[in-house]
Amino acid sequence: MRSTPEGVAPLQQPFEEVFGQVILEPDRPEPDFVIGPHGKAAAKRFNVYRNNVTHSLVTALAEIFPATALILGERNFRMIARDFLRANPPRSRLVFEYGHGLPDHLAAFEPIRHLAYLPDVARLERAWLDAYHAADQAPLWPGEISAIPPEALAKTRFTPHPAMRLVRSDYAIHTIFVAHRGGPMPHRIDAGVAENVLVTRPALQVEVRRVEPSQAVFLLALGDGAPLQEAVEWAAKGDPCFDLAAAIGLLIESGAFSACQPATHDED
């Protein structure tokens, strides 16, 4: 059996390694082992692969971050996304898992420093897609909470629903997100208003709602496994007017949790 055609040296390195070293770098020549037919050049031919890889991933990022792309403008977004993917190519084969590093990349990109809210808008968009693909699970049934004896309530713990995400920001990311993803566009947006956003998917629709800072603290504490009493204490620390009834209502209505475990006797 022939190992290589006559006059051709066998490959010294895995061919994919050589491909990978140059495919994201437009200024480097194509690997010397790729050829055109009948002695033709392979530069433009190899560039088809370069273009496919870059174009498909930039397009994927534009689809994952549509509001971010709208705010930046298509051309700027694609340029930034291209730089991002050359430095951070995907490590997952599932394109919808790509781009978790884009918000930090935006934050570090000097020319858009003035868009201080943008990294958090991108974080919210990424959280939205995580919620979209999260596991299906029925949200907590209100009857489960009302069935808990009052004395056990304080030590009850809650299991976060797989789709639940909380994005806290010093900027008006909920307003900006909604306005750039098909929602109403206000006459003026004051980007400097801090907004905390709860993302849930109780059934098939992803829901995005603004929550009070103390509610965010409360939900995060519960999500981390704190018992109810402790979560309330955390929330009230920052906001003496923290409204527990409203927070419980939010917890149920949003589908942020999927189950609750009343305290066992051991814990009492």
Partner 1 sequence: MARDPIDTSTIHGRFPAFEPAGRAGASFKPQHLEAIAGDPGSIGFLEVHAENYMGAGGPPHAALAKIRAMLPVSLHGVCMSIGGLNPLDQTHLDRFAGLVERYEPFLVSEHLAWSTHDDVFYNDLLPLPYTDGTLARVCEHIDRVQEAIGRPMLLENPSTYVLFAQSTWTETDFLREIVRRTGCGLLLDINNVFVSATNHGFSATDYLADFPLAHVGEIHLAGHDEQEDDEGAPLLIDSHDRPVADPVWTLYERVIRQCGPITTLVEWDADVPEWPILRSEAAAAERILGAHRQRTGRSMKSHALHS
* Binding interface with partner 1 (CB under 8 A): 1-5, 8, 10-11, 14-17, 19-20, 23, 30, 32-38, 40-46, 48-49, 52-53, 56-57, 60, 89-96, 131-137, 162-163, 201, 204
Tokens of 60: 């994927």
We find the least distance from the C-beta atom of residue 69 to partner 1, in angstroms, to be 17
Cβ nearer to partner 1, comparing 127 with 145: 127
We find the least distance from the C-beta atom of residue 20 to partner 1, in angstroms, to be 5
Cβ nearer to partner 1, comparing 13 with 229: 13
We find the least distance from the C-beta atom of residue 131 to partner 1, in angstroms, to be 8
Helix (H) or strand (E) holding 168: strand 165-169
Please state the length of the chain.
268
Cβ nearer to partner 1, comparing 146 with 205: 205
Listed in sequence order, the residues at least 6 apart from 152 whose beta carbon sits closer than 8 Å to its beta carbon are 262, 263, 268
Longest Cα–Cα distance in the chain: 85
Q: Which residues pair with 195 in a beta bridge?
A: 169
We find the least distance from the C-beta atom of residue 92 to partner 1, in angstroms, to be 6
Q: Which of 188, 243, 185, 184 is nearest to 213 (CA)?
A: 243
Cβ nearer to partner 1, comparing 62 with 95: 95
Calpha distance 63→42 (Å, rounded):
32
Reduced to 3 states (helix: H, G, I; strand: E, B; else coil), residue 166 is: strand
- Between CA 132 and CA 141, with CA 138 as vertex, the angle to 5 degrees is 135
We find the least distance from the C-beta atom of residue 163 to partner 1, in angstroms, to be 8
The structure tokens 């990349």 sit at 105
Cβ nearer to partner 1, comparing 136 with 190: 136
Cβ nearer to partner 1, comparing 46 with 218: 46
Cβ nearer to partner 1, comparing 48 with 245: 48
We find the least distance from the C-beta atom of residue 27 to partner 1, in angstroms, to be 17
CB 229 within 8 A of CB 247: no
We find the least distance from the C-beta atom of residue 88 to partner 1, in angstroms, to be 10
Cα dihedral sign, 252-256-259-260: negative
Listed in sequence order, the residues at least 6 apart from 194 whose beta carbon sits closer than 8 Å to its beta carbon are 168, 169, 170, 171, 172, 213
